């Protein structure tokens, strides 16, 4: 079992650009959530996708959007990047049966 995989692992973007991050969930999981983790802080919930729909959303602006595909993989898109968007972006997947969430290694985004 490959677990949760994210790509790319590192990314450097310029202010104002757009970025797309990708996530493949753990086998058997149908729910994907995205989190932003700033340096020295706990992860903050961005949104969750289930059955290709955004089921729940945290306090993030509309610049953050996502998508879930029929194979349960997911993308996180961020438009008009700001310096403050620099963070580790984590994808977590879970199954229909429980709250246990498994995280990927994350994508470290640096905005310059």
Name the site residues for other proteins (rule: CB under 8 A). Answer: 4, 31, 33, 35, 40-45, 48, 50, 55-56, 58, 88, 90, 92, 94, 96-106, 108
Least gap, CB of 98 to other proteins (angstroms): 6
Least gap, CB of 16 to other proteins (angstroms): 27
Q: Which CB, 10 or 84, lies closer to other proteins?
A: 10
Least gap, CB of 4 to other proteins (angstroms): 8
Q: Which CB, 56 or 79, lies closer to other proteins?
A: 56
User: 12 Cβ partners below 8 Å, 6+ apart?
Assistant: 110, 111, 112
Least gap, CB of 102 to other proteins (angstroms): 7
Residue 33 near residue 92, CB atoms below 8 Å: yes
What CA–CA distance (Å, rounded) separates 93 from 2? 12
Q: Which is nearest to 63 in space by CA: 23, 18, 95, 28? A: 18
Pairing of strands 107-111, 87-94: antiparallel
């Amino acid at each position: 079992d490959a677990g949760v995989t994210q790509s790319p692992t590192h990314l450097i973007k310029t202010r104002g650009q757009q970025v797309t991050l990708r996530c493949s969930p753990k086998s058997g999981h149908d729910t994907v959530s995205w989190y932003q983790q700033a340096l020295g802080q706990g992860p903050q919930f961005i949104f969750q996708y289930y059955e290709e729909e955004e089921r729940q959303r945290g306090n993030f602006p509309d610049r953050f959007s996502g998508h879930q595909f029929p194979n349960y993989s997911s993308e996180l898109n961020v438009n008009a990047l700001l310096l403050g968007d620099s963070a580790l972006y984590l994808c977590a997947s879970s199954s229909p049966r429980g709250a246990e969430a498994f995280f990927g290694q994350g994508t470290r985004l640096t905005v310059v």
